[in-house]
Structure 1
Amino acid sequence: MSVTMVVAKMGDAVYYDQYQGTVVSLNNVELRAQVSGFITGIFFKEGDVVQKGQRLYEIDRRKFQDAIAQAQANLANANANLDKAKKDLDRYNMLLKNDAVARQTVDQATATYETSKGQVAVAKAALASAKTDLSYATITAPVTGRIGISQVRLGSQVGAGTTLLNTVSSENPIGVDVVINEQDINRFYDLQKKSTDSTFRLILPDGVTTYDKPGKLLAIDRGVNNQTGSIKVRVQFPNERSILKDGMSANLKVLNSQSGNRVIIPYKAVTEQMGEFFVFVAKDTTIRQKEGGAKKDTIAFQHKVAIGPRLGDKVVIVSGVNAGDLVVTEGLQRLRDSSMVTSGTPGTGTPAKK
């Protein structure tokens, strides 16, 4: 039977395993007010990158300023009472030395002095608290990142700790979270120690474009989900141009450990039977004839193979075929194990004589 044959060759087989991933900000902060009031100022453009410490919102400051003024007045009054109590105590102590005053009066003056000191401390704490509340009336960016669309407008009333104002997400670097099977944990621990620039690549949501920056393994979650037998892994990517956005879906490509110099053959040489893969390998065989002579025939032997990933129109052979073997690529539909073949155009074989 005439068939087409090619030589199995060694080639550079670099291939990746793919995991469905989600882009996540490494620092995602929700902005909530720590004091109640009405929004009187918004100082940013929605969707812009804001710098850490930049003023974003302002809550009506007047009642907090009044509270500071009241706390300052209370502190001044407490200081005056403390000064009076100190002078009274000093005066009674001098009189006590001359037995000119009862001991009970001195004790009362001492107690009044200590109480006045406590009142000063309380007044100072109230002033500090009032200043803190005033500082909370101005909401600043806790991190450098991109701010979203504001959830409140000028004049909106906000509650302390309840109203979501906005969200700031850091963008550079950014992470990609994937879920892996627990059997792959050791592989990823090894990659965490010795990954290279080609280990982690990212396919953007269009399914075609490869992100132009390599990633590195940032973290492996603390434990395995006992219901799914999976664990989360986070890979970090640089994102200077803000191409990757928080919440975006992407495919993470992880360099397969079997990548390297491998046997590669055309994929059309592979046949599948009940979930197993086979290749016909042609070999020259010397057959002894009854007349005493010998002739050489080419025999196609069916080899069971383990295949790796496809590389375009070719496929990686993990085992079953060696470099230099002749594999049948066309005309194999009618072949059986140990069929005699000849190189040529498939379907032009000469029928056997009767």
Structure 2
Amino acid sequence: MKPMKRIILLLSFFLAIAVAAAGYWFAEGMSLRPADAQDAATRQHRPETAIPVVLAQAKRMTLPVSFSTIGTIQPVASIAVTAQVSGTVSRVAVADGAQVKQGDVLIELDARLIDTQIAQAEATVAKDEANIAKAQRDLGRINHLLASKVETLENAADAQTTLDLAKATLASDQAGLNNLRIQREYYTIHAPVTGRIGTVPVKPGSTIVDGAQASPIVTINVFEPIYVAVGIPQRMVADLAQDKAQGVAKISLTVPGRNDKLEGPVTAIDNAANTATGLVTAYASILNAPEVLWPGEILNVDVIFRDEPDALAVPNQAIQTNPQGSFVYAVDTSQHAHVKPVVIDRTLNGMTVIASGLNEGDNVVTDGQLLLSNGALVSTKQAMGE
């Protein structure tokens, strides 16, 4: 019986401890409930905290109707200079990459042979002129004697024929001399246009040939003015052509490595779309003095169709996105921010043009959106840098 009594006593002891602990925790819980209720009530009546934001106003302004794309710099003309006669190069008068003016000497060919031929032809012409002079004297003498009936009409006719033949010979030989002189000009190769040459592949002693299969001696690119070629989507071509006809379409770009802005009018639109890309190439002519644009460069450009004088725009920072699309936080007169879906027309120069969803004068949040929710109270703070 003693072990059983001991077990009963132990169970009674632990049961008493459990009852005491439960009573303690119940008493503690009851004592805390009024305080918790008081804190909840305090939180419920606590003033709403305003979230600091930066605001901007939706404004009407003149902004271009444009789109950004990639443009390629192309020379207005690229002239491949070839030889018109075959020969050996005796002198290269320009350095690789040199700027040349129209008429500048580029290359000279060995002209000793043709110079000799010209000298021979000049001597022949001089001989012909002497023969004509003699024939004229003979004819004059015969005509004088004919009046005295010392000479016959037959001799006079023969003298006239001799003179005519001498004149014809002179004309033929003079034409040959003129041809040689023209050929001689081809031995000095001049720049046909003003521009910049590339590398010169021939050197003194090189042999060059003429004809359709001849390789270019040098290529001259015209840098001033210069073309910017841009691929235009087919849906925009008609609008661009109309604005070009009105003289308002242009292309603008920033020179690489500089802050210079260059722009020029759209001067030509190609007459067919590229079958590989579906784009139609448009060209703008841009003044390029000094030479800051080089053929082959690929640049970011803006194709400007025209200026829209009454575009409704907000800063780009105001635009937010969610799965439903673009929206802004618009702040009402009670300083509460509300989500407003917007339809974007285009973005340029740090501004977003709004097609619908906002009115002129609406205040929109441009900084602080991460802490906002629909209907949140806001306070205005000053933007950095202001």
Return the TM-score normalized by structure 2: 0.67
Return closer, same or farther for 1:310/1:69 CA change in 2, 3 Å cut-off: closer
Between Structure 1 and Structure 2, how many residues are aligned? 317
Aligned to 1:164: 216
**Distance in structure 2 (CA, Å) of the matches to 1:38 and 1:22:** 38
Q: Give 1:322 deviation, angstroms.
A: 0.7
Contact 1:58/1:139 (8 A) holds in 2? yes
> 2:359 & 2:338 partners in 1: Cα distance?
15
Is residue 148 from structure 1 mapped to residue 182 from structure 2 by the alignment?
no
Cα distance in 2, alignment partners of residues 99 and 229 from structure 1: 91
Q: In 2, are the aligned partners of 1:11 and 1:264 still within 8 Å (CA)?
A: no
> Which structure has the highest strand share of the two?
1
Return the match for 2:271 from 224, 235, 239. 224
Matches within 5 A, 1:1-354: 8-10=57-59, 14=63, 16-161=66-211, 162-180=214-232, 181=234, 182-183=237-238, 184-190=240-246, 192=247, 200-204=251-255, 209=257, 212-217=260-265, 219-221=267-269, 224-225=271-272, 230-240=280-290, 242-255=291-304, 257-258=307-308, 262-264=312-314, 267=317, 269-271=319-321, 277=326, 303-309=341-347, 312=350, 315-325=352-362, 330=369, 341-343=375-377
Q: Deviations over 1:164-215 (max 9, x none)?
A: 211223334433233435221112233x3x57xxx6431446xxx5651433
> Taking structure 1 as reference, are residues 263 and 49 closer, same or farther at Cα in structure 2, changes over 3 Å only?
closer
Q: Which amino acid aligns with 1:243?
A: V
SS of structure 2 residue aligned to 1:234: strand
User: CA 1:219–1:108 in 2, change beyond 3 Å: closer, same or farther?
Assistant: farther
Unaligned runs of 5+ in 1: 285-295, 336-340, 346-354
Shift in alpha-carbon separation, 1:60–1:269, aligned structure 2, 3 A: closer
Identity of aligned residues (%): 26
Find the aligned partners of 1:45 and 1:299 in 2 and give their Cα distance: 68
Shift of the 3–126 alpha-carbon distance from structure 1 to 2, 3 Å rule, reads farther
SS in 2 for 1:18: strand
Q: Is the 8 A contact 1:21 1:178 kept in 2?
A: yes
State the Cα distance separating 1:104 from its structure 2 match.
4.0
CA contact (8 A) 2:345 2:352 kept: yes
Distance 1:254 1:303, change over 3 A: same
Output the aligned Cα RMSD: 3.8
What CA deviation, in whole Å up to 9, does each residue of 1:299-351 have, x standing for no partner?
Answer: 95755534321555x6331332113335578489986xxxxx34259xxxxxx
For 1:233 and 1:266, locate their aligned partners in 2 and report how far apart those are by CA, in whole Å: 30
Distance 1:232 1:342 in 2: 49
1:90: how far off?
2.4
Letter matched to residue 73 of structure 1:
A
Select the structure of larger CA radius of gyration. Answer: 2
The change in CA–CA distance for 1:250 and 1:104 in structure 2 (over 3 A counts) is farther
Aligned residues of 1:277 and 1:307 also touching (Cα < 8 A): no
**1-structure distance, mates of 2:207, 2:338:** 83
Aligned mates of 1:299, 1:43 — CA distance in 2: 74
Structure 2 CA distance for aligned equivalents of residues 19 and 265 of structure 1: 21
Deviation at 1:118, TM superposition (A): 1.5
TM-score normalized by structure 1? 0.73
- 1:186 aligned partner, one-letter code: Q
Shift of 1:33: 1.8
In proportion to residue count, which structure has more helix?
2
